[in-house]
Amino acid sequence: KKCYSMLYIYIVFIKIEWIGSLAPPPPPIIREPWIRLRESRNEMILETRRRKYQFQNNEGFTVELVSVVHVGEAKYFEAVADKAGFNVTLYESIVDDDLITQDGTLTQAVRATETARLEAFQCGLIPQSQVLGSVAYDQGWIIADARRSQAVTLQSLSTSGWFEAIKLVFKGRSSQAGLARLACAFAPAPELSLAVMDWSGTMPILTSTATHPRAVIDSTALRAVAAALINDGDELRSRLGRLSLMRSLMGAVSRDLDLRDEAPLVLQRNKILMAYLDHQLAQPSTHHIRIIYGAMHMRDLEKRLRDRGLAPAPQEDKDEAWLQAFAVPLVPPLLSVTEAFTTLAPFFTLVLGLLAFDAADYVYSALTFVEPELHLEPKFIDLGLYVLRHGALYYAVTKFLVA
């Protein structure tokens, strides 16, 4: 099933690249308030922001929000860990109660789990806790976060399993739903039609969102494939993994999302963090506080800081501070990607064969349903099996494309 889904991905990429080629090129910087993508020297770069806040009547007191992503290059986490000028650091880390002292610091260094290391390694990156877990212990950072038992309870509030699958099929990953999605069910290879609708729904030619970050990432997918194949084909998986990470991260922090739709786990962890911050604000010896938290938390955290009378420092809008998390090499825009197509030709041939099989299955199912000699019951059994087959394929395609 996974192999079948991966072969479909190449067709989706071709479709998206063709659509993107008809639209004007996107601007070089795609930005959300706390995370951005930019293209520089034939690289797509993901960066996160750090920003200082002050009280209007006390410019000598600062709180710095440091937005982070949970996987990146080693130098990224080293830059995040630079503590110059701060006497208190509030840090995110979901750990067990017995790893936290009474004042909120760690009793020992925290390491990334084997699963986290493997997932990061597949993208050629390292997990956040692999570096910052040791730094937090050595420098006495305060773990201002939910404990593991709390996090498990809150996480269970999120949808998963069959409900997620049903919601995905009927709502999809784009704003195009309802009759448009229903019409795809009557086309050969319906799961591919739905997948292309989901992803091309953010393309500039189909929407007015010409600067949508997902559209930019999708339109550069083949450039990343070509760069990997020209230089070192072994890096293809890690580079596509980074592109997928960029896509999911930018979607998760989109300014288009309503703050009321934030995950319960995010809001509750932010509430816990602010309790730690309020305690530090009451300490007369504390003047410079740094908060290191995930990019998904930043919109709500900024609102909570403003509610407490903190505003961005005057120089912040002029001298923005961004940290590079990781990058994906690309071929120059004017360089033909024929080398990538040539290398992937065997895959395209296989995909065409699978599409032919898919179309034959569609025709057979349609003829079976309308064949007058058959009884009524077998018709609906066959139709149900057809829906289950292609529903499972669509779910696999969309899940593996992101993963």
Q: What is the DSSP string of 176-226?
A: --THHHHHHTTSSSHHHHHHHHHHHTTSTTTSS-TT-HHHHHHHTHHHHHH
Per-residue pLDDT of the chain (403 residues; tens, 9 = 90+): 445 555 555 554 554 444 444 444 444 467 788 998 888 877 889 999 999 999 887 767 899 999 999 999 999 999 999 877 788 999 999 999 899 998 899 999 998 888 888 888 888 899 999 999 999 999 999 999 988 888 777 666 554 455 445 554 555 444 445 556 666 666 666 666 666 666 554 433 333 344 455 556 666 666 676 676 666 556 777 887 888 788 778 766 665 554 444 567 888 899 999 999 999 988 888 889 999 999 989 999 999 999 999 999 888 777 789 999 999 887 665 554 555 555 556 656 666 666 676 777 777 766 666 665 555 455 666 667 777 777 777 666 666 554 3
If asked whether residues 216 and 348 sit together in one domain, one would say yes
356 and 289 part of one domain = no
- Same-domain status, 36 and 149: yes
Range of the domain at 317: 32-156+263-329
Residues 12 and 192: beta-carbon distance below 8 Å: yes
Residues 72 and 110 in one domain: yes
Whole-Å CA distances, 166 to 71, 138, 155, 169, 358: 30, 47, 20, 5, 22
Joined tokens for residue 252: 């998760």
| Residue 19 pLDDT | 45
**253 and 347 co-located in one domain:** yes
What is the spatial distance between Cα 396 and Cα 151, in angstroms, rounded to a whole number?
28
Question: Parallel, antiparallel, or unpaired: how do β-strands 126-127 and 58-68 relate?
Answer: unpaired
In total, how many domains does the chain have?
2
Of 313, 329, 345, at which residue does a domain stop?
329
CB atoms inside a 10 Å sphere around CB 223:
23
Query: So what's the pLDDT on residue 210?
Result: 42
Q: What is the rounded CA–CA span in Å between residue 294 and residue 110?
A: 17
From 273, 304, 329, give the residue that closes a domain: 329
* Same structural domain, 252 and 325: no
* 64 and 36 both lie in a single domain: yes
Task: Please check whether residues 170 and 233 belong to one and the same domain.
Answer: yes
What is the pLDDT at residue 39? Answer: 81
Domain closes at, from 288, 314, 329 = 329
Q: Are residues 142 and 19 in the same domain?
A: no
Query: Is there a single domain that holds both residue 119 and residue 200?
Result: no
d(CA 285, CA 87): 9
Tokens 């309503």 locate to: 258
Same domain for 98 and 128, yes or no, is yes
Residues 194 and 298 in one domain: no
